[in-house]
């Protein structure tokens, strides 16, 4: 294996990113399987990335929600910054989308509502995620899900609003206010969750562009096609909710995730099934 963590047996790599790696590991003292996230050498050499990693560990450890991946422990014996996370056997929502997995339509509403509940909880803690996207949502075949990657999440406070803003996030899912580097609140996550499930149900992103600059311009000014142009099986009511989540004008967008949940609750039953006649209602 490419890395050794004292007290853990590294079994398999799960994911490798620009600054961190995730491994499937066995904690030797109690034989518990966990996912270990550790900074790679590039991440260790970058003071900003080290700071973000430490912030992520502290912030995630403070959260307790069934649809947010849990921090098991901060590994202090590691030569590189590392955290042990709940191991959740799954794949990403992005993988479902790319593979056109039929589970999107069988379990998609369940995942959508779970993520809205998770983000409502996060926002109640005065935290915004800032990087909601299909790659950061883990799903299994039962439709259970976990939100991951709080690396650029931010605790909102009076002081945080005074700090100079950076454009952080993934361009394809950025709210217009992120593109402009405005002060942010939970509405940026509402936009990104709308973009995520637009893509899940339509099978295509809500904006297209050949370059990052082109995509960012579309986020600011581009028209978003209705989801039903791509998928007639999406109900009018669901389409209306997602399109309002994607409003570029914050005054027209939902103000809170609780509002989103309220609207979804009008037409999804306790089993997360759409319970309306799509054409007549």
| pLDDT tens digits along 175-185 | 999 999 999 99
Does residue 73 carry a pLDDT above 80? yes
- pTM comes to 0.91
Work out the average pLDDT over 7-25: 89
Determine the pLDDT at residue 115: 98
CB of 198 closer than 8 Å to CB of 186: no
Both structure tokens of 24: 């499937």
CB of 75 closer than 8 Å to CB of 36: yes
- What would be the CATH architecture of the domain defined by 8-86? 2-Layer Sandwich (3.30)
- Enumerate residues 6+ apart whose C-beta is below 8 A from 173: 131, 132, 133, 191, 192, 195, 196
Work out the average pLDDT over 8-27: 89
Tell me the C-alpha distance between 152 and 24, whole Å: 23
CB of 23 closer than 8 Å to CB of 10: yes
Tell me the C-alpha distance between 231 and 48, whole Å: 42
Determine the pLDDT at residue 62: 95
Tell me the C-alpha distance between 180 and 249, whole Å: 13
Q: Which helix (H) or strand (E) holds 45?
A: none
Determine the pLDDT at residue 160: 64
CB of 119 closer than 8 Å to CB of 125: no
User: How, if at all, do strands 137-139 and 32-39 pair?
Assistant: unpaired
Tell me the C-alpha distance between 261 and 83, whole Å: 32
Determine the pLDDT at residue 278: 43
Q: For the chain, give the percent of residues with pLDDT over 90.
A: 70
Determine the pLDDT at residue 276: 37
> What DSSP state is assigned to residue 226?
P
With bands split at pLDDT 50, 70 and 90, how would you rate the model's confidence at 157? confident
- Out of 29-38, 55-64, 118-127, the most confident range is 118-127
Name the packing angle between helices 187-202 and 257-265 (round to 10°): 40
CB of 78 closer than 8 Å to CB of 38: yes
In a 3-state reduction of DSSP, which class is residue 242?
helix
With bands split at pLDDT 50, 70 and 90, how would you rate the model's confidence at 152? very high
Q: Where are the domains of the chain?
A: 8-86, 91-265
The predicted-structure confidence for 167-203, as pLDDT tens digits, reads as follows 889 999 999 999 999 999 999 999 999 999 999 999 9
Helices assigned H by DSSP within the chain: 41-44, 47-61, 93-98, 103-124, 158-162, 176-179, 187-202, 212-221, 236-245, 257-265
Q: Can you name the CATH fold of 91-265?
A: Transferase(Phosphotransferase); domain 1 (1.10.510)
Does residue 39 carry a pLDDT above 50? yes
Q: What are phi and psi of 275, to 5 degrees?
A: -115, 35
């Amino acid at each position: 294996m490419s890395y050794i963590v004292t007290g853990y047996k590294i079994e398999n790599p799960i994911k490798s990113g620009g600054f961190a790696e995730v491994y499937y590991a066995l904690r030797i003292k109690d034989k518990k399987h966990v996912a270990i996230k550790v900074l790679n050498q590039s991440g260790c050499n970058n003071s900003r990335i080290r700071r973000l990693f430490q912030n992520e560990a502290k912030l995630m450890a403070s959260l307790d929600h069934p649809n947010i991946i849990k921090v098991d422990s901060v590994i202090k014996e590691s030569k590189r910054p590392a955290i042990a996370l709940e191991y959740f056997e799954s794949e990403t929502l992005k993988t479902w989308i790319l593979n056109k997995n039929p589970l999107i339509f069988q379990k998609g509403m369940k995942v959508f509502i779970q993520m809205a509940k998770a983000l409502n909880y996060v926002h109640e803690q005065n935290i915004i995620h800032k990087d909601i996207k299909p790659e950061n949502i883990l799903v299994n075949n039962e439709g259970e899900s976990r939100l991951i990657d709080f690396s650029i999440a931010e605790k909102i406070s009076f002081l945080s609003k005074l700090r100079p803003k950076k454009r952080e996030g993934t361009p394809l899912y950025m709210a217009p206010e992120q593109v402009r580097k405005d002060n942010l609140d939970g509405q940026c996550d509402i936009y990104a969750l709308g973009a995520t499930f637009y893509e899940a149900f339509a099978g295509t992103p809500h904006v297209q562009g050949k370059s990052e600059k082109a995509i960012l311009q579309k986020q600011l000014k581009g028209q978003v096609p209705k989801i039903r142009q791509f998928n007639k099986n999406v109900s009018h009511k669901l389409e209306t909710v997602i399109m309002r989540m994607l409003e570029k004008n914050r005054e027209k967008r939902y103000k809170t995730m609780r509002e989103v949940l309220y609207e979804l609750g009008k037409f999804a039953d306790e089993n997360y099934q759409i319970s309306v006649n799509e054409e007549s209602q």
